[in-house]
Amino acid sequence: MSASEPLLAAQGLRKAFGQSTALDGASIAVAAGEVVAVMGPSGSGKSTLLHCLAGIVRPDEGRVSYRGRDLTACDDAALSALRRGEFGFVFQFGQLVPELSCVENVALPLRLDGASRRDAERRARTWLERLEVGELAAKTPGQISGGQGQRVAIARALATEPCVLFADEPTGALDSLNGEHVMRLLREAAHDSGAAVVLVTHEPRVAAWSDREVVVRDGRTRTTAPVAS
Amino acid sequence: MRAWARELAIGARLARSGGRGSLTRVALTAVGVALGVALLLVAASVPRMIDGRDARDAARADAASKEARQRAGDRTLLVADANWEFRDRDLRGRLLRAEGAQAPIPPGLDRLPRPGELFVSPALATLLRSKEGALLRERLPHPIAGTIGDEGLAGPAELAFYLGSDALADAGARRIDRFGADVEPEGLDPVLQALAVVVLTALLVPVAVFIAAAVRFGGEARDRRLAALRLLGADMRMTRRIAAGEALVAALLGLLLGGLLFLLVRGLARDVTLWDLSVFPADVTPSVPLAAAVALGVPAAAVLVTLVALRGVTVEPLGLVRRAAPRRRRLWWRLALPAAGALLLLPLVGAGDAASGSGGEAQLAAGVVLVLVGIAALLPWLVEAVVRRLGGGGVAWQLATRRLQLDSGASARVVSGIAVAVAGAIALQTTFSGVEGDYVTGREASGDAVADVWLADDGGGRLGGGAERLAAALRESAGVRGALAVEQLEASHGTASEIVRVADCATLQAVVPVGRCADGDAFLLDGMTSLRPGARVRLGDAVAWTVPRDARVVDFPGTEPAQGAVRSIPDPVLATPGALAGVAVPPRTLLASVTLDETTPDAIEHVRNAVARLDPTADVFTMGDRSYRRQYATLRRALFAGAVAVLALIGASMLVGGLEQLRERRRPLAVLAAFGTPQSAIARSILWQTAIPVALGLALSVLAGAGLGAALLRMVGAPVSLDLGSIAGLTAAGAAVVLLVTAASLPALRRTMRPEGLRTE
Ligand SMILES: Nc1ncnc2c1ncn2[C@@H]1O[C@H](COP(=O)(O)OP(=O)(O)OP(=O)(O)O)[C@@H](O)[C@H]1O
Ligand SMILES: [Mg+2]
C-alpha cells in the first residue's frame, strides 16, 4: 500500500431498500489512524454507508476497497473473517450479550479469533481498565449503567486491535457529560492502538472529536475541510 | 373482590390491545394450551371408549345359555366360531344357521345371511378388495351380501364376518335364542390395570408440564409491558393480577381452540387405527366430570402458574426487570416426593404379587405417581446444580452455559416433561419386556416355526381317514416342510377319562419309538395311564371299546419342547385304526402339527387357508400365547406412541422458548454478526443449550425408569433385566428432539443475524 492510497475507500455507492434510496452515489476515503466523522440528518444514509464500508451490507452499485482489496467481490465467509480480524464495532445500545459478564463480552471476539480463554480474558481485563471500567469485569450488562455499557462495548471493539473501528452513534443514548467522557476514551484508545475510526453521529459536539467530517445528505456525501483542533 | 375483577379485566384488555407482539404471545400460549387440552380431552374419553367397546361386545355375545341344553325351535340359531388370524390381525368370524323363522339376528345386521352368504365389516370388505387381501379372499370366496353396521363392531377397523351355513350341526355349534350377555365383560388384568395407571401418569404429567410452560410463553416481553404499567402507577399486586388476567384470556382461548381441535381429532378417529385398536368417533366423548375438570382446571392452573412465576420477578417502574435475588432451589421437598414413592413401593417388592391385595394396586399407583412427579420436581434442582458448576469449553459452550445459569428454570421445567414421559416409558418397557421374555423363549429354541391345528370331526367316515385327509391337505400347502396328523378320542372309565390317539404306524413312530408296529396294534405309555390291556372303556358318549389284550406298554423318552402339540403332548393310549375295527366311529378331534419353512412368505396363511377349506371353525395356533402377549404389545406401542407425542410437544415448547430468546437477543446477535461471528458458533450454542438439560433429564429418567421397572418386575415375580433397546430408542428420540429443535431455530437465527437487526427498533 502506497502512502497516498487510503486504508478504506468507497466510490459511487448506491443502495436502495425497495422504493427508498438510502445511498445515491456516496464516496468516502479513510486513511490509516484517521478519525472521520460521518454527519447528516436522520435518514440521510449514514448507517447504511457505514454498513457498506464494513462489508455488512452489499451496495447495489459502487466499489468498496480495503487495503486495495475489493470488498464487494468477497463472499460472506471472507467478509466475516475480515470483520473478525481487522474491524471493530460500537453501536448505540444493547450490543452486549446479556448472559455473559463484561469481561466475557470483551473476550468474546478474541476467542472467536482463536485466543485461549485465559489469554483472552487477561487481555480483556487490561482493555476494561484502559476504559476505566475494570471494576465491572464480573458484572453482567443488566447490572451496569448505559455509559458503562458503552465503555465495555468500546473495550470489546478495540480488544482485537482492529485497523478500523466503526462507531454508529456510540454516544447516542448518553447524556452530554457522559458522551464527552466516552468520546475522549474512544479517541485516546483508538489513537494508542493506531486504529482508524469511522464515527457516525449527528451531534456536532461528538463530531468535534474527529480529524475530519464527511456530511451525508440524501444519500450523497460532501467532504468538508479537516477540522481545526 | 371488585378491584380484582377490574384488574383481571385490564389484563384481558391488554392481551387484546397490546399490539402485534402481544397478540402473537397470546396466540402461542393459546395454541400450546389447546394442544394440551385436546390431549386431556382424549384422555378423558378413554373410559367412554372402553365402555362403548365393551357394551357392543356384550351386545353381540353369543354364548350358549347355561340352562339345560336348548332344543331346536322356531327361535333358535346355531352359531360356530371361526376366529381366524390373517397376517398379524385378528378376524372375528361366525357361522350361522337359523333353525326357525324367529331366529335372532346379530347386532349390526338387518337379516340373517342365507347359506353361503357373507356379511363383512367395512374394514374386512376393504381388505378383501385390496391386493393385500387376495390370500384371505381364498378363505372367504363367498359372495358378499352386506356389511355389518357399527353397532355390531368393536371398532371401525375390526375385521369381522358372519357366514350363513347349512352344514352347521348340533355337535360342532352352540344353540342360542338371543344375542347379548348380561355378564360383566372381563376388564384388564389387575397387573395391567396398575400398569395402565403408570401409562396415564407418564403421559398426563408431561401434558400438565407443557400447559404450564405454554402459559409462560412470552413471559419476558410481558414483564417489560408490566413495567410500563408500573410507571403509570400500578402497584406490584395489581400488576400481578393484570398478568393473571392476560394469562386467563390466553387459557380460555386455548380451551376453546383445544375443544375445536378435539372435535377435529374425533372426526378423524374412524380413519386412525393404532395397530389393532380403533374407535368410533361417537365413542370419543369425554366423561362429564373429567371434561368439567379440564374446563375449570386449565384456566385456574394458568392463573396460578402466572402468579407463582411472577413471585420471583420484580417489575420496576423504570422498565428494568430484575430477577429478585435468585433463590436457590431447595432440595428437601423435591427429594421427599420420590422418596415417599419409593417407600410406598418397597413393601410391594417383597410381596411378590402386586395383584393379590386390593389395597396393593392403589399403593402401587400412588407410589409410581409420586416417583414420576418427583422426577419432575427434582429435575430443575438438578439442572441448576449441574449448570452452576459448568465452565470452560469453547465460545458456543460458554454462551449456552451462561444462558442456562442466568435462567435454567424455563428449560428445566420443560425438560421435566420429557423426563417424566421417558421414565414412565422405560419403566413400563422394562416391565413388558421382562414379562414378554417368558413367551418368546419357547419359540426361539427350535429354528422352525410350528403351528398346531385342531378341528372337531363329527364322527362321520372311516376312523383314521380324517387325519389322513388333514395331513395330506397340509402337506400340499405352500411352505410346509412336514405335517403330522392324529385323531383323538375321549375314553372314559368310571369317573376318569383319558385320550386315545389314533394314527397309522408311521405317524405313531414319528412321535414315540413304539418299535414293531402293524395295523391293529395298540400301545400304552408307561406311567402315563392307569389303563391295562383288556380294560373296558366308553368312547365318546356311548361306544364301548376294549383295549386290545395284546397292547404293549412302551416308554416315552421325553418331550422335545416347541415341536408342536403332536410331538410334545403324546396321549397316553396310542392305537392304529385297526385296533378299533368294528367299533362305531365316535366323535373325535383332529390334531395336526405343521412345520413351516419360514423362508416361504405367508406360509402360515396358506396353512390357514387349507384348514379353513376343510373346516372354517378349526383353530390354528402358532407358538406362544398371542392374545395375552398382544395385550402387552398394544400397551407397549400405545406407550411408545404417547411418549413420542409428548416428546414432540415438549420439543415444540422448547422451540417456542428458544425463538423467544432469539427475539430478545436480536440486537446483541446482530452485533455479534457484525463482529464476524460465524453463525455456526451461535447455532452450536443453541444446540448445547437444548442438549444439556435434555441430557440431564434423560439421565435422571433412565435411572428412575429402570429402577421403577425393576421394582415392577419384582412385584410380578419376573426376573429383572433391563430393556436396553427401549432405553436406546427413547434416548435416540430425545436426541432427535434436540436436533430438531436446533434445526428449526436456524432459520430464525439466520434472520436475526442479518444486518437489519442493527437498525434501531
Ligand atoms: N434494512 C432497511 N430496509 C428498508 N429501508 C432501509 C433499511 N436500512 C435503511 N433503510 C432506509 O434507508 C434510508 C437511510 O437509512 P439510514 O439508517 O442509513 O439513515 P441514518 O442516516 O443512519 O439515519 P439515523 O440518523 O436516523 O440513524 C432511510 O430512509 C431508511 O428508511
Ligand atoms: Mg443511523
Does residue A2 fall inside a structural domain?
no
Distant-in-sequence, close-in-space partners of B671: CB < 8 Å, separation ≥ 6: A89, A91, A95, B758
Same domain for B345 and B486? no
Find the mean pLDDT for residues B657-663. Answer: 80
Nearest to B150 by CA among B122, B190, B113: B122
Residues B149-163: tens digit of each pLDDT: 998 998 888 899 999
Please give the sequence-ordered ranges of beta strands (E in DSSP) within B586-655, or none if there are none: 588-596, 619-622
Q: Does A54 touch chain B (CB under 8 A)?
A: yes
In a domain, A51, yes or no: yes
Q: Which of B583, B604, B626 is the C-terminal boundary of a domain?
A: B626
Residue with the larger pLDDT of the pair A28 and B454: A28
Q: Could you tell me the residue range of the domain that residue B7 belongs to? A: 1-58+208-296
Taking the C-alpha atoms of residue B11 and residue B466, their distance in angstroms, rounded to an integer, is: 83
For the stretch A23-59, pLDDT in tens is 998 999 999 989 999 999 888 999 999 999 998 888 9
Residue B182 domain flag: no
Region B614-636: what's the mean pLDDT? Answer: 67
Residue B695 distance to chain A (closest CA, Å)? 22
Q: Which residues contact A134 (CB under 8 A, 6 or more apart)?
A: A125, A128
Position B532 in a domain: yes
Distance from the B669 Cα atom to the nearest Cα atom in chain A, whole angstroms: 8
Mean pLDDT across chain B: 78
**What is the average per-residue pLDDT within B666-680?**
85
* pLDDT tens digits along A80-136: 888 888 999 998 877 888 888 999 999 988 988 888 889 999 999 999 998 889 999
**What ipTM score was computed for the predicted complex, to two decimals?**
0.83
Q: How far is the CA of A45 from the centre of ligand 1 (A)?
A: 6
Q: What is the mean pLDDT of residues B297-308?
A: 84
The pLDDT, as a whole number, for residue B587 is: 78
CB nearest B671 (choices: A95, A104, A112): A95
- Over residues B380-391, the pLDDT tens digits come to 888 888 888 887
> How much is the pTM?
0.65
| B346 and B384 both lie in a single domain | yes
Strand partners, A17: A20
CA distances from A143 to A190, B415, B529, B629, B661 (A): 26, 29, 93, 62, 19
Across A166-175, B439-448, B536-545, the highest mean pLDDT is recorded for A166-175
| Predicted local confidence at residue A121, as pLDDT | 93
**Residue A1 included in any domain:** no
For residue B116, being part of any structural domain is answered with: yes
| Contact of A33 with A189, CB cutoff 8 Å | no
Once rounded to an integer, what is the mean pLDDT over residues B714-726?
73
* Domain co-membership, B91 together with B167: yes
Lowest mean pLDDT segment, chosen from B32-36, B44-48, B193-197: B193-197
Which one of A15, A28, A47, A57 would you pick to mutate in the ligand 1 pocket, going by the greatest count of ligand atoms within 8 A of its CB? A47
B345 and B236, same structural domain?
no
Cell of B539: 368312547
End-of-domain residue from the set B626, B649, B680: B626
- Residue B747 Cα to ligand 2 midpoint, Å, equals 26
List the CATH number of the domain containing A141: 3.40.50.300
Q: Which residues contact B308 (CB under 8 A, 6 or more apart)?
A: none
Does residue B23 fall inside a structural domain?
yes
On whether any CB of chain B is under 8 Å from the CB of A80, the answer is yes
- Asked whether residue A114 is assigned to any structural domain, the reply reads yes
Residue B339: Cβ within 10 Å count: 14
Query: Which pLDDT band, with edges at 50, 70 and 90, does B119 fall under?
Result: very high
In whole angstroms, what is the distance from residue B427 CA to residue B202 CA? 10
Q: Do A47 and B671 touch (CB under 8 A)?
A: no
pLDDT at B355: 44
Question: What span, in angstroms and rounded, lies between the C-alpha atoms of B118 and B113?
Answer: 6
Question: Is the pLDDT higher at B423 or at B149?
Answer: B149
B139: left (phi over 0), alpha (psi -120 to 50) or beta: alpha
pLDDT at A135: 94
| Cβ under 8 Å to A: B residues 394-433 | 394-395, 398-399, 402-403, 405-406
Residue B549 amino acid letter: R
Domain of A217 in residue numbering reads as 8-16+26-226
Decide: B80 and B172 in contact? Cβ < 8 Å. Answer: yes
- Find the ligand nearest to A38 CA: 1
B729 in a structural domain? yes
Q: Residue of the nearest CA to atom 24 in ligand 1?
A: A42
Residue ending a domain, choose from B626, B649, B664: B626
State the pLDDT at residue A224. 60
Mean pLDDT over B580-594 rounds to 82
In a shared domain, residues B597 and B637: no
CA distance B140 to B755: 70
What is the C-alpha to C-alpha distance for residues A92 and B760, in angstroms, rounded to an integer? 9
pLDDT at B2 > cutoff 80: no
Interface test with B, best of A23, A46, A83, A97 (most B CBs within 10 A): A97
Question: pLDDT tens-digit profile of B694-707?
Answer: 888 888 888 888 88
Query: Do the domain assignments include residue B424?
Result: yes
Number of domains in chain B: 4
pLDDT at residue B447, rounded to an integer:
42
Q: In the prediction, which pLDDT does B681 show? A: 87
**Residue of the CA atom closest to atom 7 of ligand 1:** A17
> Average pLDDT, stretch B215-237?
68
Report, as an integer, the average pLDDT of B377-404: 85
If asked whether residues B154 and B280 sit together in one domain, one would say no
Is B197 domain-assigned? Answer: no
B637 and B758 in a single domain? The answer is yes
- Which whole number is the average pLDDT over B725-732? 80
**B594: helix, strand or coil:** strand
Burial label for B754, CB within 10 Å (0-12, 13-18, 19+), is middle
* A184–B contact, CB cutoff 8 A: no
The pLDDT tens digits for A80-92 are 888 888 999 998 8
B118-120/B144-147 β-pairing: parallel
In a domain? residue A3: no
For position B634, what pLDDT does the model report?
64
Which residue in the set A47, A54, A98 is minimally distant from B665, CB to CB?
A98
User: Same domain, yes or no, for B353 and B398?
Assistant: yes
User: Do B53 and B67 fall into the same domain?
Assistant: no
What the block records as the C-alpha cell of B198 is 403408570
Residue nearest to atom 6 of ligand 1 (CA): A17
The phi-psi region of residue B255 (left if phi > 0; otherwise alpha if psi is between -120 and 50; otherwise beta) is alpha
Report yes or no on B183 lying in a domain. Answer: no
Q: Report the C-alpha gap between B205 and B376 in whole angstroms.
A: 9
Quick one: which H or E segment has residue B377?
helix B358-389
Region B72-88: mean pLDDT is 86
The count of domains in chain A is: 1
